[in-house]
A and B are shown apart, each in its own frame.
Chain A
Amino acid sequence: MIPLSWYLILSAALFSIGLFGVLARRNAVAILLGVELMLNAVNINLVAFWRYLDPAVMTGQVFAIIVFAVAAAEVAVGLGLIISVYRQRSTIVAEDIDLLKW
């Protein structure tokens, strides 16, 4: 049998890779890709805890479904923002988008 630790370590590694992507990438779309990796890592954790702690209570899976919905909303708004910024400034390099910087 697979112990719970395998899933937790895998999702910790996936989360760290996503964090690296968010912090290190210059392209705003690539930053959103990193965010997706982190959300998936969280979802693996939620489902693994649901399965290993108490499969009769559906809280873990319901949380995972809410995360799906939030991820879809986040991507839709994020990509809408990126396309809007691209129209205005014709760049999507995160460090060049400094409209709000004083």
Chain B
Amino acid sequence: MTALQVLFILSAAVILGSALMVVTVRNLIHAALWLIVTLFGVAVLYAMLNASFLALVQVVVYIGAIAILFIFAVMLTRKEMRDRGPQLNKTWWLAGIIGLLTFGGLAWLLNNWSGFWKTAGVIPAGADTMRDLGVALVSPNAYVLPFEVASVLLLAALIGAVYLAFNRK
């Protein structure tokens, strides 16, 4: 067992354990904090997959913006159901069965796929994936259009969010 495999198993354990805490813990502030742990674990995986830019974006955007937004939302809406009452609905057992079936189905499907045990090829020395990504995002032959559409989508979503949450009184 190589060091890389040990690192993978450790981060996988952190990711799955904290994800379970996110969906089961009673206090929503704690759930949001556990989400941050999960997101850090996923950032480690990105780094292991040589996607260094995504690892950075994961920390800056997901942890720095989205998780903080969640914590704000929890604080703004907390008065009602602090820690009283059940946090799971009456059919949570059904949701558990559906989750297990989804996992089983995906595992079965993947197990029948020929490329399942593929190992990673080496990235040739001198190849700069971060530079390639930047070029791909702004090159007219590649993904400049989806990139611009994503920015318009973000702008529209932010204006929409401000409009929705605006207090008219």
Residues of A within 8 Å of B161, CB to CB, are 76-77, 79-80
B162 to chain A minimum Cβ distance, whole angstroms, is: 7
Contact of B162 among A4, A71, A80 (CB under 8 A): A80
Contact of B76 among A55, A64, A68, A83 (CB under 8 A): A83
B134 to chain A minimum Cβ distance, whole angstroms, is: 9
Q: Are A16 and B165 in contact (CB under 8 A)?
A: no
Contact of A10 among B15, B31, B65, B100 (CB under 8 A): B15
A-B contact pairs, 11 of them (CB 8 A): A2-B8, A4-B118, A12-B107, A17-B22, A24-B96, A26-B89, A33-B32, A37-B38, A47-B45, A71-B62, A77-B157
Q: Once the chains are docked, how many angstroms separate the CA of A91 from the CA of B80?
A: 6
Residues of B that sit less than 8 Å from A by CB: 2, 4-5, 8, 12, 15-16, 19-20, 22-23, 28, 31-32, 35, 38-39, 42, 45-46, 48-51, 53-54, 57-58, 61-62, 65-66, 69-70, 72-74, 76-77, 79-81, 85-89, 91-92, 94-96, 98-100, 102-103, 106-107, 110, 115-121, 123, 127, 129, 132-133, 136-137, 142-143, 146-147, 150-151, 153-154, 156-158, 160-165, 167
Which interface class (under 10, 10 to 19, 20 to 34, 35 or more) fits A? Answer: 35 or more
Q: Are B51 and A50 in contact (CB under 8 A)?
A: yes
Instruction: Write the chain B residue with the least CB distance to A91.
Output: B80
Q: Are A32 and B70 in contact (CB under 8 A)?
A: yes
Q: Are B118 and A3 in contact (CB under 8 A)?
A: yes
Q: Are A68 and B157 in contact (CB under 8 A)?
A: no
Residues of A within 8 Å of B35, CB to CB, are 33, 36-37
